[in-house]
Amino acid sequence: MMNRYEAPRPASEAKIRYLDADFQVLQPGSYVRCAVTGQPIPLDELRYWSVERQEAYVDAAASLKRHLETR
């Protein structure tokens, strides 16, 4: 069907299993939350996470902050 309008899905939080250099989506969604700032991170922009702590970070500074807090 041409020019079919589809209503956008509401944004929802994904459940992720963080792996070395990759992640596995356990529950579909469009974003995850930064463990430090609480800021939503779109999955296509997710670059920083901890496999050990199984949490995501919005940027390198947030990742470093959490690392220093948990040492």
pLDDT of 24: 97
Report whether 57 contacts 35 (CB < 8 A): yes
User: How many CB atoms are located within 10 Å of the residue 3 CB?
Assistant: 4
| pLDDT for the residue 8 | 63
Buried b (16+ CB within 10 A) or exposed e, 6-29: eeeeeeeebebebeeeebeeeeeb
Strand partners, 56: 34, 49
Residue whose entry in the numeric block shows the structure tokens 């509401």: 10
Q: What is the pLDDT of residues 9-43, one digit of tens each?
A: 678 999 999 999 999 999 999 999 999 999 999 99
pLDDT given at position 48: 98
